[in-house]
Amino acid sequence: MININENFLKLQAGYLFPEIGRRVRAFSQANPESDIIKLGIGDVTEPLPDAIVTAMHKAVDEMSVRETFHGYEDSGRGYDFLIDTIIENDYRPRGVQLDHDELFISDGSKCDTGNIQEIFGIDNTIAVTDPVYPVYVDTNVMAGRTGDAIDGGRYGNIVYMPCTAQNNFVPELPTEPVDMIYLCYPNNPTGAVATKEQLKKWVDYARTNKAIILYDAAYEAFISDDSIPHSIYEIEGAKEVAIEFRSFSKTAGFTGVRCAFTIVPKALRAYKTDGTPVDVNPIWNRRHCTKFNGVSYITQVGAAAVYSDAGKQQIRSIIDLYMSNAATIRKSLTGFGYKVYGGINAPYVWLHTPDGIGSWEFFDVLLNKANVVGTPGAGFGAAGEGYFRLSAFNDPAKVAQAMERIAKI
Ligand code: MLT
């Protein structure tokens, strides 16, 4: 008899975004004439910049010639030309020295943040912010690191760290011991950022308690405030205790192309149950190269073109366009009397639902009355109830239209 992994049966609703998609499809089928504006899932809408497209076309041509054809990539960790370019552009200017073999190219931060837990013991206690990007929680549920579902969509054996307006959406240190701490800044879904001082507290905590920080920096390109760190490695000692995840998805319009990277510093240690320290980097390398055959050559060439002069300029103007949408959303909603957060250093605006109505109820109101799709805060965790997320990824004219429609309700 084949047994199922019963941990999967603990999972509550379907994954958030397919569930939203299902509801939107049902609405569209019932109202075929409706013109829906999607500010729900953070999916980019602008096409790939020219510099990237040109580089990828050239890479396709190389693939068509025997002499320049690329099959499997030797290391499976990523081509040197991309890894070097990332280190030189994203890290060295911020005073972060990284070795080549500390960086792993992958097909997405969703996969990496979901897969990373595999290399850590099943008895570790995880700590997540609430609200949280659901992948961190669901993958630990699947792995069996949590208890059963309890009230409000939470699970047993997880330490939830509420992030509310009171703490500026940056959690307090936990009062009970935790081992794997998931942090995401700029934050999805609240759009909040963490200062160097706030991150230092976490790094110090992890160093003192032999914990690890899993730092999702997928939205760092949207930071506009110069004082905000882009990488956790800007904090002294972080290389001993943190893994960082970065993505080209939102930065360069790669949601449909797929390219990201993860940094596992060689200074990072985890421990055997007898307390013996173990280097984490070779363990992730082993896992990565066993289960993954690398991102396509064409995609990696496209990712490297993000750092060309033209690429940098072109992605900057796209990011500016999305951030002007975020400003429009913030300004309009504030004008309508909503209390809003985020949207300044992140492409997400987080708002209080009006009159304290439930976040799924507000989702339905917005969909039915304004034909606008957002994401209910409760979908990100119990502390997200009473909040709602609007994404800035859309065409400015559509965002303006969405705001006009919301004004009417
Ligand atoms: C989101 O909308 O939260 C993100 O787009 C989801 C993702 O990046 O997987």
Q: What are the beta bridge partners of residue 105?
A: 261
Which residue, by CA, sits nearest to atom 1 of ligand 1? 42
What's the confidence (pLDDT) of residue 19? 85
Tell me the C-alpha distance between 385 and 377, whole Å.
5
Collapsed DSSP state (helix, strand, coil) of residue 68:
helix
In a domain, 25, yes or no: yes
Asked if residue 116 and residue 183 are part of one domain, the reply reads yes
Asked if residue 369 and residue 245 are part of one domain, the reply reads no
> Checking DSSP bridges between strand 260-263 and strand 242-247, what pairing results, if any?
antiparallel
Tell me the C-alpha distance between 227 and 224, whole Å.
9
What's the confidence (pLDDT) of residue 153? 80
Judge residue 356's burial from the number of C-beta atoms within 10 Å of its C-beta, 0-12 exposed, 13-18 middle, 19 or more buried: exposed
- Which of 188, 257, 375, 393 gets mutated to test ligand 1 (max ligand atoms within 8 A of its CB)? 188
Asked if residue 125 and residue 22 are part of one domain, the reply reads no
- The CB density around residue 163, as the number of other CB atoms within 10 Å, is 26
List strand residue ranges (DSSP E) for 80-178, in order. Answer: 103-106, 126-130, 158-162
Asked if residue 101 and residue 25 are part of one domain, the reply reads no
Per-residue model confidence as pLDDT tens digits over 290-334: 999 999 999 999 999 999 999 999 999 999 999 999 999 999 999
Asked if residue 370 and residue 293 are part of one domain, the reply reads no
Asked if residue 224 and residue 89 are part of one domain, the reply reads yes
What's the confidence (pLDDT) of residue 12? 86
Q: In the listed set 308, 336, 360, which residue is the last one of a domain according to the structure? A: 308
What's the confidence (pLDDT) of residue 356? 86
In a domain, 113, yes or no: yes
Say how many Å lie between the CA of residue 267 and the centre of ligand 1. Answer: 30
In a domain, 334, yes or no: yes
Asked if residue 134 and residue 146 are part of one domain, the reply reads yes
Collapsed DSSP state (helix, strand, coil) of residue 161:
strand
The count of domains in the chain is: 2
Which residue ranges have their beta carbon within 6 Å of ligand 1?
41-43, 110, 188
In a domain, 19, yes or no: yes
Asked if residue 272 and residue 138 are part of one domain, the reply reads yes
- Residue 237's domain comprises 53-308
In a domain, 1, yes or no: no
What's the confidence (pLDDT) of residue 378? 92
- Which of 15, 17, 110, 246 gets mutated to test ligand 1 (max ligand atoms within 8 A of its CB)? 17
What's the confidence (pLDDT) of residue 409? 87
Q: What are the beta bridge partners of residue 183?
A: 215
Asked if residue 376 and residue 230 are part of one domain, the reply reads no
In a domain, 393, yes or no: yes
Say how many Å lie between the CA of residue 54 and the centre of ligand 1. Answer: 27
Provide the CATH number for the domain around residue 387.
3.90.1150.10
Q: In the listed set 308, 325, 349, which residue is the last one of a domain according to the structure? A: 308
Asked if residue 205 and residue 330 are part of one domain, the reply reads no
Say how many Å lie between the CA of residue 392 and the centre of ligand 1. Answer: 12
Segments in the chain below pLDDT 50 = none
Residues 291-312: b if buried by 16+ CB within 10 A, e if exposed: ebebbbbbbbbbbbbbbbeebe
Backbone CA torsion sign across 391, 394, 399, 402: negative
> Can you tell me which atom of ligand 1 is nearest the CA of 40?
2
In a domain, 364, yes or no: yes
Q: In the listed set 269, 284, 308, which residue is the last one of a domain according to the structure? A: 308
DSSP for 222-263?
A: G---TTS-SSGGGSTTGGGTEEEEEESHHHHT-TTT--EEEE
51 and 314 Cβ atoms separated by less than 8 Å:
yes
Provide the CATH number for the domain around residue 111.
3.40.640.10
Asked if residue 336 and residue 229 are part of one domain, the reply reads no
In a domain, 30, yes or no: yes
Asked if residue 88 and residue 134 are part of one domain, the reply reads yes
